Amino acid sequence: MTDPVVLKVAVLASGTGTNLQALIDQVHGRDGVRIVAVGSDKPEALALERAQAAGIETALFPVSDFNGNRAARDGAMADWLRARGVQLVVLAGYMQILGPAFLDRFADQVINLHPALLPAFPGLDAVNQALAYGAKVFGVTVHFVDEGVDSGPVIMQRAVELPDARVLDDVLPHVHALEHQMLPEVVRLFARGAVRIASTHPRRVLVGPLAVLPER
């Protein structure tokens, strides 16, 4: 019997890994998705323990192992993922910029989760940036990764109105709840071949039925 078609997914994470856990719990080993590799730049990342507990192969790529050479680190990481047949790379709290040594090897195959409604508040500390700005609507963006900072085409965005938010704890539970729904949903869509960049518009991402219908 031949194996059913499965999308081989890798996750890169630098921190706690609650989004990796959401993927493990909601899509790993079902819906045509298998997480085959989890990589990190941080030896202490709890995400590594979560992966190991789920029987997923892990590897560490701290830039210090590559004499501070980020391109060499990115190249080694790309080799490791390619050797495992990875077709989609999910950045879930991966706090490093990926350069061309990585992105050229995974064209349109790398997605990122960002805790704000891009293009507002890119970069680090997005929720605090939004609070400092006095925002009343917060949210989450899942987007393709390009060589800029949180600048690639948007795949999915969801918002939550929190007009009285003052501190991080007023916002984070809402943002995390959105993230833990959205990321598995987007990975499922990729497994169904239901995400594609429009041929006529490089920033427009067609999702769901739109991705399999002729463009208009």
* Binding flag, residue 114, ligand GAR (CB under 6 A): yes
19 backbone dihedrals φ, ψ, rounded to 5°: -75, -35
Candidate segments 14-22, 60-68, 187-195, 202-210, binder of ligand GAR by CB under 6 A: 14-22
Place of tokens 């709840």: 177
176 catalytic? Reply is no
For residues 14 and 96, the answer to whether their CB atoms sit within 8 Å is: yes
Instruction: Render 121-186 in DSSP notation, one character per residue.
Output: S-SSSHHHHHHHHT-SEEEEEEEE--SSSS-SPEEEEEEEE-TT--SHHHHHHHHHHHHHHHHHHH
Cα–Cα distance for residue pair 28/34, rounded to 1 Å:
5
157 backbone dihedrals φ, ψ, rounded to 5°: -135, 140
For the bound state, the minimum distance from the C-beta of residue 113 to ligand GAR, rounded and expressed in Å, comes to: 5
* Binding flag, residue 40, ligand GAR (CB under 6 A): no
* DSSP-based three-state secondary structure for 49: helix
Candidate segments 58-66, 74-82, 103-111, 112-120, binder of ligand GAR by CB under 6 A: 112-120
Site for ligand GAR in 59-98 (CB under 6 A): 92-93
Which of residues 92 and 187 has its CB atom nearest to ligand GAR in the complex?
92
CA atoms in the 13 A half-sphere facing the CB of 185: 15
For the bound state, the minimum distance from the C-beta of residue 35 to ligand GAR, rounded and expressed in Å, comes to: 14
Which of residues 63 and 172 has its CB atom nearest to ligand GAR in the complex?
172
Which of residues 153 and 192 has its CB atom nearest to ligand GAR in the complex?
153
* Binding flag, residue 58, ligand GAR (CB under 6 A): no
* Binding flag, residue 13, ligand GAR (CB under 6 A): yes
Site string for ligand GAR, 157-186 (x = CB under 6 A): ----------------------x-------
Q: Which residues pair with 85 in a beta bridge?
A: none
Which of residues 39 and 115 has its CB atom nearest to ligand GAR in the complex?
115
Active-site option among 114, 143, 174, 180: 114
CB-based burial label for 154 (10 Å; 0-12, 13-18, 19+): middle
Residues that bind ligand GAR (CB under 6 A): 13, 15-19, 92-93, 113-115, 126, 179
